[in-house]
Structure formats: C-alpha cells, structure tokens
Amino acid sequence: MCACVCHPTDATLQVDISDALSERDKVKFTVHTKSTLPNFKQNEFSVVRQHEEFIWLHDSFVENEDYAGYIIPPAPPRPDFDASREKLQKLGEGEGSMTKEEFTKMKQELEAEYLAIFKKTVAMHEVFLCRVAAHPVLRKDLNFHVFLEYNQDLSVRGKNKKEKLEDFFKNVVKSADGVLVAGVKDVDDFFEHEKTFLLEYHNRVKDASAKSDRMIRSHKSKNQLHFRTETQQVSCSPDRKFFLKVSELFEKTRKIEARVAADEDLKLADLLKYYLRESQAAKDLLYRRSRSLVDYENANKALDKARAKNRDVLQAETSQQLCCHKFEKISESAKQELIDFKTRRVAAFRKNLVELAELELKHAKVKGLVTVRSR
C-alpha cells in the first residue's frame, strides 16, 4: 500500500508496523524492527507508539541543522476518524427508523469504511518509517533509534500553545523569506531548473489532489443512492420477479462501484496527496539551500568589509568558511536528493497508474458481465 517505493528489503534495518489498535481518541501503532546493526541491543523488537511520537521524530529531523541538505520524509497525517465515527453514531441513532436488514447493511458498509481509513493511516505511518530507514543518513539518527527501541513512553507531549505560536511565526517568517529567496536567481542551472519545476509542480499537484478528492467524493456519494433505489423496487407487484432481478443487479453494480471509488482513492488520490507532501519537503530543502546561500553571500560581504576595515578578519574568515562549507555540503546532498526524488516519483506514479488502470479495467469488465448476465 505504500505510495512510495521503498528500497528492497535491506537486512540491516527493516521497520514495519505490525499491529495497530484504535482506541477512542488515539491510535496505538506497534512498530516492529528487525536489524543486524550493532547499535541495537536485540536483533528484533517491538514498541508501541502514538501519532504524536511520529511527529516528534519528524520535527527533530527538521530542526536538526545537519540534515538541512536532505529531503525530510513528510510526516504522516493525523489519524482522522471523526467523520466515520459521526456516521456510525448517526446510524445508531436512526436505528429505529429502518428495517433490521437495512441497518445491518449500512452498519457493515460504515464499518468497512472505518476499516479502510484505519488501514490507510497505518500505511502512511509505515511509509514514513520506511523512508527514514531507507535513507543512508537519517537511519543512523539517534532519535530514530530511540524511537524504535525505547520501550517506554517517550513522553512527548504535543506542543503547547506557546510552542504552537512560535511555530506559526516561524512559518510566517519562512514563507516571507521564501519569497525573497526564490527571487534570487541561482548560478547553478540544475538548481535553478529544479526550483522552477518544483514550485510549479507543487501547485499543480495540490490542485490535482484537491480535484481528485472531490471527484472521488462525488463518486462515493452517488453510490450511496442506489442502495435505496433498489429496496423500493422490490415491492412493485405483480412484476415482482422482474424487479427483484433488477434490484439485485443494481445492488451488485453498486458494490462494484464502491470498490472502484475505493481503488481510485487509494491509487490516485493517495498518490497525489503523498507527492504533495513530498514536493513540499523538497521545496523546503531548496529553501534551506537558498537560505544558506544567502548566508554565504552575506558572510562574504562581511569578510570583505572586515578586510577593508582590517578588523575581526579572522572571525569573519572562519564564519565565511563555515558558511561556504555548509552551503557546499547542502548543495551536494541536495542534488542527490532531488535526483532520487525524481526517480522515486516516476516509479511511484508508474506503479500506481498501472495498478489504477488495471483495477479500473477489472471492475469495468466485472460490471459489464454482471449487467449482461442480468439481461
């Protein structure tokens, strides 16, 4: 179910989510690790983690200056069962007003929906961990190891108000800065191209993702209807036999359509959503690089000034060297990261588009058969 294409199973470090438990307001993931690395006490072990702890891990990567040159795998979205829970509740309230049969049917459908959402959130958390484990540098991160191994609660509380406010301001500054930085034309063609490309791509993926969501949503809501249509048909007599057949047909096609919508959701919508987040992460990388370029240029200017005034030259020189070094390091790794990003992206799109087409074909054929047979 991964929207990304993880590296083939690497014996040195394998991470997956072997189990998950959904409680009232949280989901508990069992993170299972198999490793031959010496850093770990055992070769195979599991811990239980919650969503906040994933976020903590992600944020620790982002804040780590050493990782400025890498595309940080995007954090998994928060598990959101509210809509599904609401529907189940409404169903419970309306139990009196429908027949037992209808009730059980609807209940089954809603439960299936809940299960689907659940599976998705598990998959997305797993993808995050896989990506970290597959990254040559990030996999060695200490926080990551703690995350995998420490079998007590990490006591990572969610950010309190003050911290959230700080984050907010940081983002504001970042986006303003981002605009300034984006205006600077890069000397390096590769990066210049990537910058333009990513900006546009990101926006378009956002748009495509939103539209595909809407399309799939209306597909799903269309399916809700048939359900009632068929139940009514049954009572029209004396052509009872005929109408029964027709209503059976409608019910079957509706089930198939539901599966089509679910598959589209998985293969298309999820793919787009994931790449929306990844392209944002890639943009962040470019931003960090540009930021460090600006810092480097500023350091150069400071050095020139210092030389001219012949004051604090040594200090300026060290600072400039640091900046230079940082910039070059980021540029180098960024290049590789972006190339990898492209490869991953192409592969993921290919896999998902092929699977989407195959599934659509399969369902269309089944639907055709069912309809023809009923004639």
Interface positions with other proteins (CB under 8 A): 197, 200-201, 204-205, 207-208, 210-212, 214-215, 217-219, 221-222, 225-226, 228-229, 232-233, 235-239, 241-242, 245-246, 249, 253, 342, 345-346, 349-350, 353-354, 356-358, 360-361, 364-365, 367-368, 371-372, 374-375
CA–CA separation, 177 and 172 (whole Å):
8
Helices (H) and strands (E) in the chain, counts: 9, 3
CB of 238 to other proteins, least distance (A): 7
Q: Angle at CA 322, nearest 5°, toward 319 and 327?
A: 125
For residue 267, the minimal CB distance to other proteins (Å) is 11
Listed in sequence order, the DSSP H helices in 135-188 are 142-149, 161-183
Contact 296, 229 (CB under 8 A): no
Q: How far is the CB of 221 from other proteins (least distance, A)?
A: 6
Peptide bond before residue 238 is cis, with ω within 30 degrees of 0: yes
Length in residues, the chain: 375
Closest to other proteins by CB, 212 or 290? 212
Q: Residue 231 and residue 252: Cα distance in Å, rounded?
A: 13
Query: CA-CA distances (angstroms) from residue 105 to 102, 231, 361?
Result: 5, 12, 27
Measured from the CB atom, is 104 or 374 closer to other proteins?
A: 374
Closest alpha carbon to 156 in 53, 16, 279, 43: 53
Smallest separation, CB 203 to other proteins (Å): 8
Is the CB of residue 263 less than 8 Å from the CB of residue 356?
yes
Tell the smallest beta-carbon distance from residue 99 to other proteins (Å).
14
Q: Which amino acid is at 257?
A: E
As given in the structure block, the two tokens for residue 52 are: 């906040």
Q: Which is nearer to other proteins, 218 or 321 (CB)?
A: 218
- Closer residue to other proteins in complex, CB, 37/361: 361
CB of 223 to other proteins, least distance (A): 9
Nearer to other proteins, 124 or 205 (CB): 205
Measured from the CB atom, the residue of 13 and 268 that comes closer to other proteins is 268
The least distance separating other proteins from the CB of residue 143, rounded to whole angstroms, comes to 34
Cβ nearer to other proteins, comparing 172 with 236: 236
Rounded least distance, CB 337 to other proteins, Å: 16
Cβ atoms within 10 A of the Cβ of 292, count?
23
Show contacts of 10-16: CB within 8 Å, 24+ apart: 10/133, 10/134, 11/36, 12/36, 12/37, 13/37, 13/133, 13/139, 14/133, 15/126, 15/129, 15/130, 15/132, 15/133, 15/148, 16/126, 16/129, 16/130
Cβ closer to other proteins: 99 or 155?
A: 99
Task: Give the shortest CB-257-to-other proteins separation in angstroms.
Answer: 10
Q: 14: closest CA among 39, 42, 44, 55?
A: 44
Identity of the residue, 160 or 237, whose beta carbon is nearer to other proteins in the bound complex? 237
